[in-house]
Structure 1
Amino acid sequence: MSETMSGLGAALAAVSSPSWERRVRAGRDLASFADVPEAAEALVRLLLDAEDTAVTRQTAEALTRVGTVAAVRLIALAVAEADDNQADWLQTGVHDALVGPDGVQDVAAACVKLARDQEEAVRLAAAAISAWAADTRR
């Protein structure tokens, strides 16, 4: 097993940890694997973490920094399922990634691609994420 795959396995195991700090670390570690089905499923769980908003916020930030269509689609899936409080923390995480000195430009391009997604919920959530990104640039 490669070192990358063992890191993936360790991060997947940490998703179910009772420690919010370990779940935050898992979200950061898994973000670059957004296109791997097992990681994608775990990342959506972390984005919708019912125990701690820090997990939601920091996982959204990590995925936004990755900025790929796969990563932004996971945020969109979470936005589609989130309650108002979770949606606020998802937005905050996206905002945190975009306002930094190296704000991510890829998010807008990913949202354009997701506007043609098969799932209506993803298309609507991508439009919301695109609006968040536009608000950040003002």
Structure 2
Amino acid sequence: MTKRWEAALAEASSPSWTRRARAGRDLASFAEVPEAAEALLGLLLDAEDTAVTRQTAEALTRAGTVAAVRLIALAVAEADDNRADWLQTGVHDALMDSGGGLDVAAVCGELARHPEEAVRRGAADLSVWTVGNGL
């Protein structure tokens, strides 16, 4: 593990929302690593601050990997309505800034066949969000 990765993992449990948000951004490229994935899912569902949710969702959407989008889908399936709104905002921000909606939509199509029901359900919601962006 690199020092940056270790530091981001430690910051994921910080009492500071800004450090947790930074951890979400820094860990997004490590979504396939089990320890990072666990921390990222916690950040997506952060109970303390919706900015952490939004910024982590945005970073994972920008990463656009199957592992990253899978984590968003899991969070969407578990989130209450308020948290889901902030997840959607983070996804929307990334899609509008990067025009990456087609890639995320393709990943959602792949996740529609995932063995976990929660992933399939969350991916279906994410897919609607990408269509809603006109991407």
User: Which residue of 2 is the match for residue 82 of structure 1?
Assistant: 79
* TM-score normalised by structure 2 residue count: 0.96
| From 17, 22, 36, the counterpart of 2:19 | 22
Gaps of 5+ in 2: none
Q: What residue in structure 2 maps to residue 32 of structure 1?
A: 29
Q: Which residue of 1 aligns with 2:117?
A: 120
Query: How far off is 1:80 after superposition?
Result: 1.0
The one of 50, 54, 58 aligned to 2:55: 58
Identical-residue share of aligned pairs (%): 74
Deviations 1:81-137 (A, max 9, x none): 11111001000100000011x221310111011001001111011010010011011
Letter in 2 for 1:29: D
Partners of 1:137 and 1:8 lie apart in 2 by: 35
Give the distance between the partners of 1:109 and 1:20, measured in 2 at CA.
Answer: 32
How far, CA to CA, are the matches of 1:20 and 1:68 in structure 2? 25
Aligned to 2:128: 131
**TM-score normalised to the size of structure 1?**
0.94
CA RMSD of aligned residues (A): 1.0
Q: 1:96 aligns with which of 89, 93, 97?
A: 93
Q: 1:58 is matched by which residue type in structure 2?
A: Q
Aligned length: 134
Q: Provide the rounded CA distance (Å) in 1 between the counterparts of 2:99 and 2:12.
A: 27
